[in-house]
Structure 1
Amino acid sequence: MQRIAGIDEAGRGPLAGPVYAAAVILDPGRRIRGLDDSKKLTAERREELAAKIRERALAWCIASASVQEIDSLNILQAAMLAMRRACEGLAVIPDKALIDGNTLPRGLACLAEPVVGGDATVKAISAASILAKTARDAYCLEMHASYPDYGFDQHKGYGTSLHLQRLALHGPCPAHRRSFAPVRLLIA
């Protein structure tokens, strides 16, 4: 049996917080019904599926790249770093990794192939998408507890009107990505 790892990230677009990635090798003997692109699922359904993925997958790992890494590398390279960390953290070495998107992280210890739209078409990538999204959402709730004035529990760090309003009112907090234009312009 060839061990295929699906890899995806969450959090490239937000103005705050780390970018998360997950790698998942599904167990063909322990199917999980309902896997799909995390963006197409409700928060409740994502949480239900995340628990099943952690319980039934052959191997899984969630990793991240920090705000400082995002600001020093750029968001694409930080996402690639998080993906590589997730793949390296798997307890089972994959024979191949299928990566959502059109860019591959450098330095993977296995063969890799990009799959555009893979989070909706490849079950292992869907599972990775769900784990990355639920981990990042959980982190956003932690950011909200630390910095309640910004409303991270509502917008999850994305540049919504509420977030931009709070950012203008309070200025950036340590969780904000200084290299992203709305934050950079406030600092300048």
Structure 2
Amino acid sequence: MTLKTQFSSFDFECGTDEAGRGCLAGPVTAAAVILPTNFSNKVLNDSKQLSEKKRMVLKPIIEELSLSYGVQHIFEDEIDSINILNASIKAMHGSIAQLNIVPNYIIVDGNKFKPYNSIPHQTIIKGDSKYLNIAAASVLAKTYRDLYMEKIHEEFPMYNWKKNKGYPTKEHRAAIEKYGVTKYHRKSFRLLPEQYCLDL
């Protein structure tokens, strides 16, 4: 399916998406992207449908050709404090705030969002596989988060974050069981062993 350039008829429509919502460790990361109305790219799609290599090829293309983009991490302590849904929305708001063009419309991947500065918005289920600006945001959110997880992997290589990126793989859970948790783990999530979870 060919992705549409944008949802609305506004000149500066921003697409936003997040990555890392279901992870046990690391931040939730969101990106916001405003693309030119004539933007096209045959490869760009929902980041989950793309190989890591393709995402890394697309990253500088999106950064160069977008009218504006922003990326925001929300880290573990804040996720534990305000919960993952609120942290995801806060990350999206933060990424939109970084744009050097004020968007006049926002489209959001998924079905949950809170109004941002009275700018009209629309949530779109699977929006990252329907609209190029959300797909571009999904690629930036995923690549920036992956690069961060590869960096902190060097500090705690036993969890193999460079491969699993903090997601709850069997290997990751086994490492938590063996070595305990780190400062990068989300204590409010169901980690193993159970005593490492906060009683929230």
More helix by share: 1
Q: Which amino acid aligns with 2:139?
A: I
Contact 2:31–2:137 at 8 Å: present in 1 too? yes
CA distance in 1: counterparts of 2:41 and 2:77, whole angstroms: 36
Please tell me the root mean square deviation across aligned C-alpha atoms, in Å: 1.4
Q: What's the secondary structure of 2:138's corresponding residue?
A: helix
From 63, 66, 74, give the equivalent of 1:65: 74
CA distance in 1: counterparts of 2:92 and 2:70, whole angstroms: 10
Q: Which amino acid aligns with 1:67?
A: E
TM-score for the superposition, normalised by structure 2: 0.90
Q: Pairwise mapping of residues 22-61 of structure 1 onto structure 2 (< 5 A)?
A: 22-61=31-70
Aligned to 2:22: 13
Q: What's the secondary structure of 1:71's corresponding residue?
A: helix
Tell me the CA shift for residue 186 of structure 1. 3.6
Aligned to 1:146: 155
Contact 1:176–1:183 at 8 Å: present in 2 too? no
CA distance in 2: counterparts of 1:124 and 1:136, whole angstroms: 18
Aligned to 2:85: 76
CA distance in 2: counterparts of 1:77 and 1:97, whole angstroms: 18
CA distance in 1: counterparts of 2:23 and 2:118, whole angstroms: 29
Q: Which amino acid aligns with 1:65?
A: I
Q: Which runs of 5+ in 2 are unaligned?
A: 1-9
Contact 2:31–2:71 at 8 Å: present in 1 too? yes
Deviates more, 1:172-181 or 1:102-111: 102-111
Contact 2:11–2:37 at 8 Å: present in 1 too? no
Mapped pair 1:163 → 2:172: yes
Tell me the CA shift for residue 183 of structure 1. 5.0
Contact 2:177–2:193 at 8 Å: present in 1 too? no
Contact 1:8–1:99 at 8 Å: present in 2 too? yes
Q: Which runs of 5+ in 1 are unaligned?
A: none
Mapped pair 1:112 → 2:121: yes
Tell me the CA shift for residue 147 of structure 1. 0.9
TM-score for the superposition, normalised by structure 1: 0.95
Q: Which amino acid aligns with 1:91?
A: N
* Structure 1 residue runs of 4 or more that deviate by more than 4 Å after TM superposition: none
CA distance in 2: counterparts of 1:183 and 1:81, whole angstroms: 27
Contact 1:84–1:108 at 8 Å: present in 2 too? no
Contact 1:36–1:123 at 8 Å: present in 2 too? yes
CA distance in 2: counterparts of 1:108 and 1:46, whole angstroms: 31
Q: Identity of aligned pairs, percent? A: 37
Paired residues in the alignment total: 188
